Every structure is written in C-alpha cells, then in structure tokens.
Amino acid sequence: MSGNVEMIVTRENGTITFSFPAGPVRFVTFVITSSTGEELWQLHPVGMRQAERSETGGRFMAIPLRDNYQQNAAELVGRLAAEHPSISPPVEKIEYATVPAGYHEDEPAKPLAHGVTYKAILLNVPEYATIEFTA
C-alpha cells in the first residue's frame, strides 16, 4: 500500500471490499486496474462529469467553475471539495461493482478473476491511496 490514506482490502463470500480504518473518505476518482493498467471499474462523484475521450485517448474530467480561480489543478480540486462537501460525499467502504451513494461509474465493473492481482487507486487531492490485491 502507498499513499497518505490507509486502505485495506477484504474478501468475504465473494465480495471484495475496500475500507478505510481512519474513517470515511472522500474521493474524486476510485479506479480498479489490471496488472497491465487496463481500467476495470472507475467511480467519480455525481457532480463531476466525465468528458469524451480526446484524440490522444486520454480522459478528462470537467468541473464547472463560477469564480476565476488562479490555482493549480490539485489546489483547485482540494478547495472545491472542502468548500462544497456534497461534491464528494464521504464513504466508509466501497464494495467492488456496487456504486456508493453520491457517485457514478463510467461503465459497469468488469468481472475479476479469482487468484489474479489487481490494483485499487483512490484519489482525493492531495490525499491518495493505492493497494495491490488478489481477487
């Protein structure tokens, strides 16, 4: 595990759960990837919409602004989340393929193969967590 947010993974009765021992967390992105980096499931707050893929294949997230912010993206996202807590509701745990209230998935979660290693990434600027786990 790496990052400044502790995240643990448990598997019980076929359900994979990501929890946060220090208490509920907020995030702007939660993603599960394969060992090759293929995105298998991705969550974002409902208030943030995903833009179309760019010509280079990248993805971008649009965040509507009402004021003229002169900050870098990390500071901006952190400030928006702090000033508008409803943008990123706190969650105590995330169950794979179950969308928490206040969030949406880009696409339905792809099945995970038993015994295969994956990576979970949680991002809430400037906080983050990554952990490898075996399904």
Averaged pLDDT for residues 12-16: 94
Higher-scoring residue by pLDDT: 24, 80: 24
Number of domains observed in the structure of the chain: 1
pLDDT value of position 66: 54
pLDDT value of position 22: 93
pLDDT value of position 53: 52
Give percent of the chain with pLDDT exceeding 70. 70
Can you give the residue range of the structural domain that contains 19? 2-52+60-134
Nearest alpha carbon to residue 118 among 10, 13, 36, 15: 36
pTM: 0.76
Q: What is the DSSP letter of 60?
A: -
Tens digit of each residue's pLDDT (9 = 90 or more) over 118-134: 999 998 877 889 999 99
Rounded distance between C-alpha atoms, residue 3 and residue 95, angstroms: 20
Higher-scoring residue by pLDDT: 99, 47: 99
Task: Give the C-alpha distances (Å, rounded to integers) separating 29 from 49, 70, 107.
Answer: 11, 23, 14
